[in-house]
Each structure stands twice: as structure tokens, then as C-alpha cells.
Structure 1
Amino acid sequence: MPTPESDTHPTVEEKHHPMLKMVLEIGPLLVFFFGNLRGEWLAQKFPILTEVGGPLFIATALFMAATVIALIVSKLVFKHLPIMPFVSGVVVLIFGGLGIYLQDETFIKMKPTIINGMFAFLLLGGLFFGKSLLGYVFNAAFQLDDEGWKKLTLRWGLFFIFLAVLNEIVWRNFSDDTWVNFKVWGTMPITILFTLSQMPLIMRHQVPDAAAKGDKAE
């Protein structure tokens, strides 16, 4: 069975197409933002979209389509489906579909809570059983020792809980537009800042890349 360390190497394709990888991860969120912002205009241009519902439902339908396209492109170009986007995509399709079918925005707004809660449960649950699962969740380009993986897994697990709670606070207390803006323009910067804040820990626990050493030896 592969260890988290062995699963953290980016593929050759990911090294050659870093910008495409970023676009595939961020693109669906931007589509969601545009769909909510210009939902009424889109409905006028494409009357069939009126059957989906209001702007938030139109945005969700476009988000679902963009997510599926991003996963397909990832599979074709990178030869695999990243675990985190794949799991998120499944939740997007299930709860987005329920929200549109039932015309209930609650399913759509609770989706980030469920996704983040699920990742927190997996990471912290894995630690409880002595497994550092972060290497299987993230396709990161660094190697850590066991203690480093445990600490980083704990921190990310707690961070996912923070994001889940924050999403609940925002969607339950603010307008739809505020929630969409938070989802697109708030969550990403917060996650980037958190990731950067973990660099000292990563540097302290990073171990030599055996594969890189082998390449140099050749």
C-alpha cells in the first residue's frame, strides 16, 4: 500500500501544466460567481435556464457542469483524479442536484459545510486510528517525516472545521450575494493564508526526496 509520502509526488503532467491545474481548481468557483452575478441576464439570453430557477440555482447548475468538465480534463491531461476535487465534485453534484430539484437553497448553501466537515472527519478520524491521511487528500509536492504529517494533518483537520463553522455563520446570517462573495473571494484567500502559515512546519519536517536524489545520481 502506498504511503502518504509516496503519494505526494506531483505527476509529470502536473509539473508541465501547473497553470492548467490551477485553472481547473479555481475555474468552477469563478463560473459559480459569474452565474450568480449575471443569472438574470443569462436567463434572458438562454430562456431554458429559467426552468432551473433563480440566479443562485442557475449558478449552481453552471457550477456543476464546470466541475464535471474540470474533472474530465484532469483525468485526460493528468491521468488521474485528485482525491479532494473528486470528493468535492461528488458532493457538489448530489447536493446541487437536490437543491435544484427541490428548489431549496439550503442544500446548496450547506454543501461547503458538508465538504469541509467530511474532510475534517476523515483527517482527524485517521489520526485517531494512527493514520496520517493528508498525503492521500493532497497531491502536494513535498515530503515530510511521520511527525510532520501528523502535525500537518491535525492542523488541516481543525482548519476544515473552522471553514465549516464559518460557512454556517455566513449563510445563516447574511444575504445570498454576500455568501457567494464569501464562498468565491473569501474562502480561497483564507485557505492560501493558512497554507502559507504552515510552511515553517513543513520546512522543519521535510525529508530529502529520494526520487530526486536518484535522478541526480543518474
Structure 2
Amino acid sequence: MSTQKISTSLKLGLELGPIVLFFAGFRFFKDRSFSIFGTDYSGFIVMTALFVLMIVVSTGILWRLTGTISKMQLMTLVLVVVMGGLSVYFNDDHFIKMKPTLLYLAFGGVLGFGLLRGQSYLKLVMEEALPLQPEGWMILTRRLCGFFFALALTNELVWRIFSTETWVTFKTFGLTLAMFGFFMAQAKVLDRYGIKDQA
């Protein structure tokens, strides 16, 4: 299947839509329980099952429209299906709450491994959208590596210390805003090391 480009708004909607719908569904069903095949499930577990389904569908649509799925998207999909599936199977919300931790540890670990080899693996996945000089890629990669590890630690602290409702809000808005904030804070690096179009 050939690679095709889609609008940024559609891509963002497909990537963030399941997260927003999970949050909305949790807010509506958080105080309810459901008896399915003789087992009682909380509203959180039911929404987790629906979230897994939504992620699979949205990723499938994205692949169908663009003809490609990035390694980051694929890793996210696998972790959501595995950890979400374990939460539903064992009727235990701990698994899905640990998903962001594992995801950010994986991202940070991959970037860190590249740095140890003197390479920016971030460049491999973002070079086309964000052309930078080699030094700029290394600086951005080091910062993002540390940031991913910080997010992993923060997620662990939030889900272990605070309520499920607090964690859902943090997962939906806190982590998303943190990512936007991180890249906004890199404006000086992007400006200094960005490769200008000579044409």
C-alpha cells in the first residue's frame, strides 16, 4: 500500500479521539458496575475494554488512509492491547494504569540506547517533519530521553498515590499537555539548529 498524507486535524483526531472518548465514558460510568457473564466489572474496566477496541479501530483507519503506521504508534497499540487486555481479563485496573509507564520507559530506553551509540534515533522518525542539524538532533534527543523517563516516573507516582479519577484526568490531559509543553519549550533549539529552506 502506497504512503499517503492526510490532514493534520484528521490525524490528530484519530490519535487523540480514543483517549478523549475514554475520559468522557469514564466520567459517565465511573460510579456504575456491570455484570457480564456472571462477573462484576467497574465502569473503568468496561471503558478500558472499549478503549482497546477504539485504539485498534482508529489505528486501522489511520493505516488504511495513510498506508503506514509509525513504530511509535505500533508500540502504543501493542501495549494498549496487551495491558488493557490483561486489565479486562484479570478485572484489575493496575495493568492499564502501568501502560504509560512501560510506554515511556520503552521510548526513553530506545532513545538512550541510540545516544550510547552516538546516534539520534529520534531523527529517524521525525527528520522529514522537523529538519535539524546533527547537533540539534542530539540535543533534542537527550532532552526527550530524560523527559520520557520523567513521565514514566510521574505516571507511577500518580496512579499509585492518587485515585483512579485523578489518574484518568492526568492521563487524558496532563500527559498530553506535558508533551505539547515540552516541544514548545524547545523553540530555541529548533530555531538555532533548524535547517532553513534555501529556496
**Under a length normalisation based on structure 1, what TM-score does the superposition of the two structures give?**
0.82
* Aligned pairs (5 A) from 1:101-140: 101-138=89-126
Aligned-pair distance for 1:21? 0.6
Amino acid in the other structure paired with 1:13 = K
Aligned-pair distance for 1:175? 0.5
Aligned-pair distance for 1:100? 1.0
- 8 Å contact from structure 1 (residues 83, 136) kept in 2: no
Amino acid in the other structure paired with 1:112 = P
Write the deviation string for residues 135-165 of structure 1: whole angstroms up to 9, x where unpaired. Answer: 3344762201111111111111111011101
1:88 corresponds to which of 68, 76, 79: 76
- 8 Å contact from structure 1 (residues 99, 108) kept in 2: yes
- 8 Å contact from structure 2 (residues 33, 40) kept in 1: no
Matched, 1:143 2:131: yes
1:203 corresponds to which of 168, 182, 191: 191
Pairwise CA RMSD of aligned residues?
A: 2.3
- Per the alignment, residue 154 of structure 2 pairs with 166
Amino acid in the other structure paired with 1:22 = L
2:23 corresponds to which of 29, 33, 36: 33
Aligned-pair distance for 1:208? 3.6
Aligned-pair distance for 1:34? 2.0
Give aligned-pair identity as a percent: 35
Write the deviation string for residues 1-53 of structure 1: whole angstroms up to 9, x where unpaired. Answer: xxxxxxxxxx7513xx1110110111111122123212269877xx7599582
- 8 Å contact from structure 1 (residues 83, 138) kept in 2: no
Write the deviation string for residues 55-84 of structure 1: whole angstroms up to 9, x where unpaired. Answer: 111121111111111111111111210222
Write the deviation string for residues 76-133 of structure 1: whole angstroms up to 9, x where unpaired. Answer: 1112102222211110101111111111211111110000000000001111012200
- Per the alignment, residue 8 of structure 2 pairs with 18
Runs of 4+ off more than 3 Å: 40-44, 47-52, 136-140
- 8 Å contact from structure 2 (residues 97, 159) kept in 1: yes
- Report which structure shows greater RCO (CA 8 Å, sep ≥6): 1
Instruction: Output the CA distance in 2 between the equivalents of 1:131 and 1:92.
Output: 28
Instruction: Output the CA distance in 2 between the equivalents of 1:185 and 1:104.
Output: 23
SS of equivalent residue, structure 1 residue 38: helix
Amino acid in the other structure paired with 1:174 = F
Amino acid in the other structure paired with 2:28 = R
Write the deviation string for residues 183-216 of structure 1: whole angstroms up to 9, x where unpaired. Answer: 0011111111111011210111111458xx4xxx
Aligned length: 197
Question: Structure 2, unaligned stretches of length 5 or more?
Answer: none
